[in-house]
Amino acid sequence: MSYQPSYQSTTTSTLAIVSLVFGILTWLLLPFIGAIVAIVCGHLARSEIRKAPAGTMVEGNGMAIAGLVLGYAHLAFAVLAVLVIIGVLFLSVGTFWH
Helix (H, G, I), strand (E, B) or coil at 90: helix
Print the domain residue range for 86: 9-96
Residue 2: inside a domain: no
Residue 43, number of CB atoms within 10 A of its CB: 16
Does residue 4 fall inside a structural domain?
Answer: no
Q: Is residue 3 part of a domain?
A: no
What span, in angstroms and rounded, lies between the C-alpha atoms of 16 and 67?
8
Q: What is the pLDDT of residues 8-54, one digit of tens each?
A: 678 999 999 999 999 999 999 988 999 999 999 999 999 999 998 87
* Residue 72 is assigned to a structural domain of this protein: yes
- How many structural domains are present in the chain? 1
Residue 91 covered by a domain:
yes
pTM over 0.85: no
Q: Is residue 37 part of a domain?
A: yes
Q: Are 15 and 48 in contact (CB under 8 A)?
A: yes
